[in-house]
Each structure stands twice: as structure tokens, then as C-alpha cells.
Structure 1
Amino acid sequence: MITSDVENFPGFPEPVLGPELMERMRKQCERLGVDIVQQDVARLDLSRRPFAAETTEGVRASAETVILATGAKARLLGIESETRLMGHGVSACATCDGFFFKGKDVCVVGGGDTAIEEATFLTRFASKVTLIHRRDSLRASKIMQDRARSNPKIVFLWDSVVSEVLGAEKVSGVRVSNLKTGKASDLACQGLFVAIGHDPSVSL
């Protein structure tokens, strides 16, 4: 669970960080004797009961019930420089990598709940967060929009897309194209967080 503040989980009067909630769940399961195997599943036989699974490391397990919860993968921009600099200033997970950008300027791409959540979380570390959105209005929920608009560290760049990530070995900026004027400009930053949604993981 890589979300930042979880506000709608029963039993928590105050928001709880996704990783913290996940760790609490893990400890509860371990206390009750649940075996947790953190490996990738390579094969799954659902042709007859008990169902059988085997991991890439050869661990086998069988059960009468199997719950497929393969999650989702972050949707990316699909440009070469993004792929080349992934892990070197480009990220799709603020809760995973936000700490590395303490005191730095970062950009977030997107305009929905994911983007606003990432941008708001990053203000805990970054000195400035520029939210780049291809439209002239946000798609996020009103409460999340209000939080972002009232945060002095967040600035908005409307009607724009990132056409290139700048930098040889690490991110030094982004090239932004305005969709209405066609004008391109370079914006200095040390980090780029892509937050344009997720695609379901439908394969093992």
C-alpha cells in the first residue's frame, strides 16, 4: 500500500500512512500465526481443488480458496528520457521516494486524486512542488483540490504536458509544452513524479 494518508479506514480517528497501516496488518497476521511469503508467483493451477501455487523460488502451497490481488502498475508518460532516468529522479511513488528530495524542487504530472495526493505529500520534504496538468482544471475531489490550492508550496502549470525529462545521469529539469500555444519551455527541478493513474496487473 503506497498511498500517503489513509483517512477512511475504520479504527483510525486520524489519518494513517499507507505503509504504516500495512505494517500493522502484517504484525497482526504474524501474531495470529499466518505465514507470509514475499515471493513472486510463477505458476498457478486452478483446474482442480485444492488449488496449487508455486513461487519463482520453488515454494509450493495449496488451498481450497485463492484470492487474486495482483494490484496495479503506475501508468507512465511513455517517453524515452522518462525510462532512462527512472530511479534517478523520476518516480511514480511519492511515499517511496519523497524523502530523497528534501529541500529540492520537484514536479508532479497529473490532475486527479493521485496527483494531488502525491503533490501534497511531497510538500513535507520538497521546497517547491509544481503540478503540471494537461487541462485548465483539476479532476480531483474538491476536498483534495482545496488542500492543494491552500498549500503555499504547490504551484500549478495548466494546459501543459512534459515532452522530455532533462538530465544526463539524473533529473535536472523537464521540457514542458503548452497545449494551447504550442510553446515549449524548460523548467528546472530535481525530481519528476508521474501521477497519471494506474493500470491493473492482470498477469502473474
Structure 2
Amino acid sequence: MAVHTTRMLIIGSGPAGLSAAIYGARAGMQAIVVQGLQPGGQLTITTDVENYPGFRDVIQGPWLMQEMQAQAEHVGTRMMWDTIVDVDIAGGTPFRARGDSGDEYVGDVLVIATGAQAKWLGVPGEETLSGKGVSACATCDGFFYRGKKVAVIGGGNTAVEEALYLTNHSDDVTLIHRRDDLRAEKILQDRLFAHPKISVLWNQRVDEFLGDPMGGGLTGLKLIDTVSGQESEFACQGAFVAIGHAPATELFKGKLEMDDSGYLVVEPGTPKTNVPGVFACGDVMDHTYRQAVTAAGTGCMAALDAERFLATLEFVRHEAAQAAE
């Protein structure tokens, strides 16, 4: 077992974690990034990226994350191929984390950038057609379905917001819900029902995504009526699964404050958690925007606040040492 010590320990290697690493390493905090089960985060399973600033042409998600990692390493970040299985933050700084390799990581500050994963239906065709007509983010991918017939699957706030957003690109948006009423807030429902471009299919469960992943992509959905059991097919070129996200916060249950959905709670306008010296950035604390650029922004914020925390900590330690002399 090896022990790796640093001033800044970062768990997670998506846009938030790598942005924190770039700022932290440049500030001399000797950043260590523990990459986790999905190095690079969700962008590594995203194909076309057209909304990240600085790139005129469409870029590929995996390439963007490779460039971010290379930039982080170039300025001095150490990348560790490990997955954290336990953290000890109860005693304050320094914070300790244990990887499944058996190695221990010790940091004066801890930046949590473990992200969140979209919840999927788990039905045939969903995985093979992902990025080829099936998506979990209308804001990310809606632009690619301009003028096409699209469907949104779900009944909560996220689903209704996705459907409303897609009307910017499509004149034919259908919300598909397995019940006969929506869970979304009433004001969102009112906007949905009043919109001329949106229709609703009630009591329908998606049983399969149809199409050819090697050819034209998604062609439609196989639906099951939840009341009668009758099967039908719904033709569309784009389908957006909007049944929620699951933040990767299992490690921190009982250790950090979370909201009812499991997202880490931070001080408004900052990445500061309820434990001094522990910062959260990216989708693990953001259930509203969930964009690569906003994740990167909060990663920058976490590094800047971490630097200020360390400066204050060193001043306090210096004053205590002088008083003891």
C-alpha cells in the first residue's frame, strides 16, 4: 500500500475535476486527481459536442476530455488510476481517502467532482442507439434534431423542461408518460399543455428503442399501454430519456450534507460544503444546469476557494506556532 500526499486531493476526472486540477496545479497545490470508474466523466461517452466555448467546429467528447487531462498533467497534476472506496473527513484537514487498490490519498483540501449519471430505462436498443437518436440531455443534443420529430420520456420537471426546450428546434415534440398525470410543477404543466408544438401520450411505457445503430439510427419506439397492455410503435428520429439523474454521492452519506435527491449541498454561490476544506463542484452539486461548461466553471471556483482556505490555514498554523514558542 502506498500513501500519496498532496495539498489538493480531487476525486473525479470530468470537466469539473480537471478544471479544478488545472487551477490548483498552477497555484502550486500539487493537485492529485483520482480518476474513478469513468475517467473523463460523461463526456467520454458523448459523441458530438457543439456547445463548449472555443471550438467553431463540432468536436468529440472523448477528445475534449483527453485534451483537458493533458493540460492538467502539463501544469503538474498527478493522475491516479484508482477508485475511491472510503473517505475520512470527520476529523477535519488533512482529509484521507482509500482507493480500491489499497492506496491511501491524503490532502489538505478535498475537492469532490464525482458527477452524476442520467437514469436510464434499461430497455433494448437504449444503449446501442445512445448518441444515435437516444439522449438524456436535450440542452446538449437538441440542436442535432432540428426539424425532426422527437419524443421526451418522463413526467417530472426535467421531462417537461426538456420538452419545452426542444420546441426551439422541433415543431413536433411528444411527451410520453407511463401514468395519466404528471409530477411536474403546475406552472410547467400549464406551459406544456398550452404549447402548440407539444402533444402528450398518456399511460405509455417505452419497451424498446427501434432503429439501426450502424445505419440511420433511431427510427421509433415500441410502446406498451400501461392500462390495456396493447403494443404500438411510435415513429420519431430523436428520443430523450428524462427520468432524473443520480449523483455519485454514496461515499459521502452521513459525512456531508445532502438534499433529498442526494446532491451535495453547498453554500449558495460557492462550492463550499458544510465541512471546511471540502469543496464540491460539477454535477454532484448541480441538479439544474448539468453542462460541461458550468461544471468546468465550478471546478475553477473550487480551486480558487481551496487556495484561499489553504492560505488561511497556513496563517493560523503559523500564528499558533509562534504563540507556542
Q: TM-score, structure 2 length as denominator?
A: 0.47
Which digits, 9 at most, give the CA deviation of each residue in 1:142-180, with x for residues without a partner? Answer: 111111111111100001111111111210011111111
Counterpart for residue 73 of structure 1: 117
CA RMSD after TM alignment: 3.1
Corresponding residue to 1:181 among 208, 222, 228:
228
SS of aligned partner of 2:206: strand
Equivalent residues of 2:204, 2:225 under 8 A apart: yes
> Where has structure 1 moved over 6 Å in runs of 4 or more?
33-39
Q: In the superposition, relative to structure 1, how do residues 196 and 43 fare at CA in structure 2: closer, same or farther (>3 Å)? A: closer
Structure 2 CA distance for partners of 1:132 and 1:66, relative to 1, 3 Å: same
Q: 1:141 aligned to 185, 189, 192, which one?
A: 185
SS of the residue corresponding to residue 118 of structure 1 reads helix
Residue 219 of structure 2: aligned partner: 172
The CA distance in 1 between the partners of 2:118 and 2:180, in whole Å, is: 23
Where do 1:7-156 residues align within 5 Å? Answer: 40=35, 42=82, 46=87, 49-51=93-95, 62-63=107-108, 65-156=109-200
In the TM superposition, residue 61 of structure 1 has moved relative to its aligned partner by: 8.6
Change (3 A) 1:164 1:195: same
Distance in 2 separating the partners of 1:79 and 1:38: 34
**Corresponding residue for 2:42?**
none
Over 3 Å counting, the alpha-carbon distance change for 1:157 and 1:141 in structure 2 is: same
**2:53 maps to which residue?**
none
Q: Which amino acid aligns with 1:92?
A: A
- SS for the counterpart of 2:169 is coil
Letter in 2 for 1:91: S
Partner Cα distance (1:153, 1:97) in 2: 18
Task: Decide whether aligned partners of structure 1 residues 173 and 43 sit closer, same or farther in structure 2, where only a CA change above 3 A counts.
Answer: closer
Counterpart selection for 1:193 from 220, 225, 240: 240
1:40-96 Cα distance to aligned partner (Å, 9 max, x none): 35456855843368xxxxxx9932x32435332111110121111011100001111
Q: 1:136 to 1:177 in 2, by over 3 A?
A: same
Counterpart CA distance in 1 for 2:32 and 2:139 is 23
Give distance in 2, aligned partners of 1:37 and 1:103: 45
Q: Per the alignment, do residues 104 and 80 of structure 1 end up closer, same or farther by CA in structure 2, a change over 3 Å counting? A: same
Native 8 Å contact 2:34 2:83 kept in 1 = no
Aligned letter for 2:212?
A: A
In structure 2, do the counterparts of structure 1 residues 96 and 61 end up closer, same or farther at CA, with 3 Å as the change threshold? farther
Q: Quickly say closer, same or farther: Cα 1:37–1:51, change in 2 above 3 A.
A: closer
| Structure 1 letter corresponding to 2:117 | K
Partners of 2:120 and 2:140 in 1: how far apart? 16
Structure exhibiting the larger radius of gyration computed from Cα positions? 2
Gaps of 5+ in 1: 1-21, 54-59
Provide TM-score, normalisation by structure 1. Answer: 0.72
The 3-state SS of whatever aligns with 1:177 is: strand
Which amino acid in 2 is paired with 1:88?
K
- Take 1:66 and 1:103, find their aligned partners in 2: how far apart are those partners? 45
SS of residue paired to 2:158? helix
| Paired residue secondary structure (1:139) | coil
Other structure's SS at 1:114 match: helix
Amino acid at match of 1:143: I
